[in-house]
């Protein structure tokens, strides 16, 4: 099994190196603009602990919106289902940074994986803390999940986004006007920008995602969340993890997945695998062009899908 997956990963890495349509690297965050679109990495961790790595699987990159999965898990640990009074659970059908639904829906973001929703989650994680402590808590949580103490925030990316994140500041201000942001906009966006600037490799991300493949268990340390909570987070990743392309991602790949504009995707096959891919070029929806293609090939080769009895 493990050798077979490694063979599939090797084939995918070779195929991705030949691809000329690699998408466009995000430039709206200046710190991300200089990353080469030539990168491609992939890590697949099986439920049995087997690890298959390919390409730049051990090179850290900016996880960006993938952090929303870990921040959501932390916020649910703090306030439980009360979170759903302030954030919805429906796909938005809009771009990740859209503001259009917020007025009609009274400042309640559609889901925790669009920017507006993640900013509310950051506000929850900030309660009772200074921003530095809230970020420290999230980093410690991610290090614990990955069992890796080397994971850090890339301060240059955080600074770059703080200087240019006008849309996110607008979203936070708009929600504050509805009473759905409780701390100052500067503090909340500070937490949000720093969580997006966490650097991780595919291997570290796939390790951090293992609790979602194992019904809430982290293999080294035990229970992180209940089986029900893991299942629900997976459901949100499937329906909302790729913004307005979430339906297409479910159709093509059929796994819960969360993308980030750094070009990473974390994907989960419950009971089977925790997977991370990275290629910085993005498609029109802001999701990794080759990362999506690579996951599609992996799904085809293994039969892995939450919609299939095979595998
Ligand atoms: N930090 C990015 C932003 O707020 C995250 C977006 C993403 O990864 N889709 O714009």
Query: In ligand 1, which atom is closest to the CA atom of 193?
Result: 1
2-61+202-218+225-302 CATH: 3.40.710.10
For residue 218, the model assigns a pLDDT of 95
Q: Is the CB of 111 under 6 A from ligand 1?
A: no
Q: Is 2-61+202-218+225-302's fold the same as 65-198's?
A: yes
* CA quadruple 240, 243, 248, 249: dihedral sign: negative
For residue 30, the model assigns a pLDDT of 92
Cα(117)–Cα(165) distance, integer angstroms: 16
65-198 CATH: 3.40.710.10
Strand ranges inside 108-254, DSSP E: 152-153, 198-200, 217-218, 222-223
Assigned token pair, 43: 């890590």
Q: Is the CB of 243 under 6 A from ligand 1?
A: no
Q: Which of 176, 53, 60, 200 is nearest to 123 (CA)?
A: 176
For residue 96, the model assigns a pLDDT of 87
Return the exposure string of 276-309: e unless at least 16 CB atoms fall within 10 Å of the residue's CB, then b. Answer: bbbbbbbbebbbbbbbbbbbbbbbeebebbbeee
Catalytic status, residue 124: no
| Ligand 1 pocket: which of 64, 68, 278 to mutate (most atoms within 8 A of CB) | 64
Catalytic status, residue 211: no
CA of residue 92 to ligand 1 center, whole Å: 15
Tell me what percent of the chain is helix, strand and coil, each rounded to the nearest 5.
50, 15, 35
Q: Whose CA is nearest to atom 2 of ligand 1?
A: 64
Q: For 97-129, how does the pLDDT look when each residue is reduced to its tens digit (9 = 90+)?
A: 899 999 999 999 999 999 999 999 999 999 999
Domain ranges of the chain: 2-61+202-218+225-302, 65-198
222 burial type by CB count under 10 A (0-12 exposed, 13-18 middle, 19+ buried): exposed
CB-based contact 205:51 (threshold 8 Å): no
| Ligand 1 pocket: which of 25, 120, 161, 245 to mutate (most atoms within 8 A of CB) | 161
**Mean pLDDT in runs of 10 for the chain (311 residues)?**
92 97 94 95 98 98 98 98 98 90 94 97 96 97 98 97 96 98 98 98 98 97 96 98 96 98 98 98 96 98 93 60
Catalytic status, residue 68: yes
Q: Is the CB of 261 under 6 A from ligand 1?
A: yes
């Amino acid at each position: 099994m493990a050798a077979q997956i490694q063979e599939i990963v090797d084939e995918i890495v070779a195929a991705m190196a030949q691809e000329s349509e690699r998408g466009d690297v995000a430039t709206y965050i200046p710190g991300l603009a200089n990353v080469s679109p030539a990168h491609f990495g992939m890590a697949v961790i099986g439920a049995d602990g087997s690890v298959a790595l390919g390409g730049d699987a051990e090179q850290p990159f900016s996880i960006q919106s993938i952090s929303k999965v870990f921040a959501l898990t932390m916020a649910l640990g703090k306030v439980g289902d009360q979170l759903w009074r302030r954030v919805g659970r429906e796909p938005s059908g809009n771009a990740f940074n859209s503001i259009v639904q917020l007025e009609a829906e009274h400042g309640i973001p559609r889901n925790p994986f669009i920017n507006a929703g993640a900013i509310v989650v950051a506000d929850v994680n900030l309660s009772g803390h200074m921003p530095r402590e809230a970020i420290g808590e999230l980093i410690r949580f991610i290090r614990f999940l990955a069992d890796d103490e080397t994971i850090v925030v890339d301060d240059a990316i955080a600074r770059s986004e703080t200087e240019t994140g006008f849309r996110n500041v607008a979203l936070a201000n708009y929600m504050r006007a509805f009473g759905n942001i409780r701390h100052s906009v500067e503090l909340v966006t500070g937490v949000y920008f720093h969580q997006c600037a966490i650097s991780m490799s595919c291997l570290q991300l796939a390790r951090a995602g293992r609790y979602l493949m194992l019904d809430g268990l982290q293999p080294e340390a035990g229970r992180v969340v209940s089986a029900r909570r893991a299942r629900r987070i997976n459901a949100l990743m499937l329906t909302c993890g790729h913004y307005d392309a979430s339906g297409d991602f479910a159709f093509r790949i059929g796994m819960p997945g969360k993308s980030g504009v750094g070009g990473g995707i974390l994907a989960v096959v419950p009971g089977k695998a925790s997977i991370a891919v990275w290629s910085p070029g993005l498609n029109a929806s802001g999701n990794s062009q080759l990362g999506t293609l690579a996951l599609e090939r992996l799904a085809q080769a293994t039969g892995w899908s939450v919609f299939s009895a095979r595998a």
